A and B are shown apart, each in its own frame.
Chain A
Amino acid sequence: MTVAIGRRPATPARPGLLRTEQRQGLALMSPTFLFALVMLAAPILVVIAHSFWTQTYLTIDRTFTLDNYRIALTEPIYRDLLMRSLILSMSVAFLTVLLAYPVAYYISFHGGRYKSLLLFLITIPAWTSYLLRVMSWKVILGYNGVLNTALLGTGIIDEPSTAFLYNTNAVLITLTHAWAVFAILPIYVSLEKVDRTLIEAASDLGDGPIRRFLRVTLPLTVPGIIAALIIVMIPTVGDYVTPRLVGGKDGVMIASAIEVQFKRGANWPLGAALSVTTMIVITVVAVSCVGLLRWAAGRIR
């Protein structure tokens, strides 16, 4: 009996600072939490603070101003970069999810006992260096690249095409490749949760395979689709490596502008405002996409 009581939180028999579950949990969590607070929350607050200040040469003027945001939102160069980054990250997210869904579906419904092997197989490329994979796409899509050589060899084209590399499409292909597994996994998880008896019920009630998929499976996996969209969309908006390596002039994204302000351009407040604007805008866009998708899913049913 005493043993059982001793396990309960806040037992008078065991007083002391670290005896209650609340305190023990907090104490154990605090090193990691404090690290995240100091290394993530505080720096982001500092960035937000800087975005309201101004800088002349190396001195920071701490008078509150919205000038940086005015520049970030109205200067054509930043506005265009932001728009392009948004459109690209949305296209990447939707394309990745569209291409990944059948793969996740196949693994979940037809994977059988090879499920975990298939999942591991798909995860491996994602674990290899991102920089190297982007570089590899450059080798594939280049003027003397693998794709051109293959197309020339099969006689589909007569001379190497410059259409593959240094443009928006190259960025789209590379990012869709890079984020594939981040879309497959959440969709796979939601597919695994689909109650198979519901699908059987739908067939017993006379639904064909397509109708059954559209009315049962697809609506039930909307949470997975939403998670996949967000996981892909938010990080890609700030991608730096891909636009720099394969994007050329048309593929430049907002991260390059942010980098310039923090490194060569040395206008930290403007760089901060660009960062904050990007974060806010992508959050708003992501939330709207989620809302739209939920609404659409409700309509299908």
Chain B
Amino acid sequence: MLAKRIIPCLDVKDGKTVKGVNFVNFRDAGDPVELGKQYSDQGADELVYLDITASHEGRKTFLDLVRNVAAHINIPFTVGGGINELNDVDKLLNAGADKVSINSAAIRNPNLIGEIAENFGSQVCVTAIDAACVNGKWICYLNGGRVPSDKELFSWAKEAENRGAGEILFTSMDHDGVKTGYANEALARLSDLLKIPVIASGGAGEKKHFKDVFQLGKADAALAAGVFHFGEININELKDYLRKEQLIVR
């Protein structure tokens, strides 16, 4: 049976891992390669490295870090942040990344999804969506949650799938950093709507939230940052817990 995946996300700024609370206040959480290796040893199924300053300041992505991660870590990893064109993807894959995550660039230029899928395969193209619920409607945001777009979560996710996205990484900005659980209702709707895997992000605070996101939110994978970085949840223990709750984990 295919396992539900646990994915620590490392937001990287100036070569260091940070974790935002509702995308604004950053706290330092350590060396990205060392941290990634630790998670891999603890039983993480994949890693995501996001260059969080990239789209904001137009900084080019962090190839050296990617090479370093690829050299030291033996599980798949996704990189994102500041990917605007095919050439950026090519460089990151050549540096050893397994997948790329595109967010703002996909909203600005939806053709990018298809171009990545055609050139490198759908499995490479994770489309990340940051959305917040405004008056009952899930609005997608650009630039790390700073700027609202004219896209709505469900129709945009479906469009991304049709264009060739391999996975959807949905972050609920309302839940991110708040630690009260994932946006399970929206996630379940998304999972029912899509034929590709859904990675849930935003809201993990305790072990039960992971059980809920898989059972209620129907997510294929759950991403979290702060609870792992600050040692509040150990991935090994989390998996023992999920196994006891009858979920299939590695």
Verify that A and B bind, or say they do not: no
Residues of A bordering B, CB below 8 Å: none
